Amino acid sequence: MPSSSPAETYLLDYHRRHAGATTRAFASLPARRGADTLPSSYACLVTEVPDDGRPRTVLDLGCGDGALLALLAQQRTPGLTLLGLDLSEHELASARARLGRAATLHQGRAQALPFADASIDRVLSHLALMLMDDVETVLAEVRRVLRPGGRVSVVVPGTRPPTEAVATFVQAVRASHAVPSLPLGDARVRSGEGLRGLFGAGFRLQSDVELEVIGDGPPERVWESLATTYDVDRMSEESRAALRTAFLTAVAPLLRSDGVLPYRWGLRQLTATREP
Ligand SMILES: C[S@@+](CC[C@H](N)C(=O)[O-])C[C@H]1O[C@@H](n2cnc3c(N)ncnc32)[C@H](O)[C@@H]1O
């Protein structure tokens, strides 16, 4: 599995130390999509796989510890073949323990998929595309493995103005000047226009919608979730402790009378079909 850029080396190290961190942060938080509230942002991708009796092969790209694949397996949709691919052997070990024989898991890079041309009906990806090096090669690979008319749906960070708690966190991180610079992924994936542009060649856009993940909770719990972000992970212990204090102090005036901190995280879900 050649590469490893500084970004991939860091991601491998982070996911060795914190396998399952994304699931712990997001799997139990409801997500609003338009007028609907779904159980989680993972569930927003499950709706891409209809239970209409047609056999389908579904790939979770950057599957981490297999949370999305587990939701798909629980559907018990007849004829569904589940595949997962991830860089991190540690995430895949957790996925294997969770999924058993329900999915076939591959360690590898999204830039070089170990699947035949036109062999997959759905490519789904939750909070992974924005981390990937050389995203144009990744999308060319997605296009190659999808059958003509097959669908790809990705959940990535959104561009909605953040709620005050998130804005406060972002300001506190910037003010700390304590995060060593390490660009992860391609910045275009984090902007609506950039992402639509990347899917402009070889795909037909089906939808591009904002998701709102609802993480309201006690401030300490919100901090625990924010502390798993890659930026906070790369800080020294000392800087992290100072950031925690700065964050908890700054959000104190935002608490509701019941002690809950309103905390919403903006994501987006883009869905496209492969052009013939
Ligand atoms: C933030 S985690 C999300 C994991 C999982 N999709 C979830 O939401 O629970 C990102 C995952 O993408 C994987 N990843 C990053 N770059 C990758 C690449 N080029 N190819 C395959 N996996 C990659 C990481 O190893 C990590 O498991």
Residue 148's identity, in one-letter code, is: P
Residues in the ligand 1 pocket, defined by CB under 6 Å: 11, 15, 22-23, 62-64, 67, 85-88, 91, 109-111, 126-128, 131-132
Gap between the Cα atoms of 184 and 99, Å rounded: 29
Which residue ranges make up each domain of the chain? 6-161+184-218+262-274
Q: The whole model's pTM is what?
A: 0.95
Which of 5, 131, 139 for a ligand 1 pocket mutation test, highest count of atoms within 8 Å of Cβ? 131
**Which helix (H) or strand (E) element contains residue 37?**
strand 36-38
Which of 68, 82, 91, 267 for a ligand 1 pocket mutation test, highest count of atoms within 8 Å of Cβ? 91
Whether the CB-CB separation of 116 and 144 falls below 8 Å is answered with no
Q: Would you give per-residue pLDDT tens digits along the chain (276 residues)?
A: 666 899 999 999 999 999 999 999 999 999 999 999 999 999 999 999 998 888 999 999 999 999 999 999 999 888 999 999 999 999 999 999 999 999 999 999 999 999 999 999 999 999 999 999 999 999 999 999 999 999 999 999 998 777 888 888 888 888 887 777 788 999 999 999 999 999 998 999 999 999 999 999 999 999 999 999 999 999 989 999 999 999 999 999 999 999 999 999 999 999 999 998
How many angstroms is it from 256 CA to the middle of ligand 1? 35
Cβ partners under 8 Å of residue 270, min gap 6: 153, 154, 156, 195, 196, 199, 205, 207, 208
For 16-54, how does the pLDDT look when each residue is reduced to its tens digit (9 = 90+)?
A: 999 999 999 999 999 999 999 999 999 999 999 998 888
Domain 6-161+184-218+262-274 fold: Rossmann fold (3.40.50)
Torsion sign, CA atoms 172, 176, 174, 29: negative
Gap between the Cα atoms of 108 and 130, Å rounded: 17
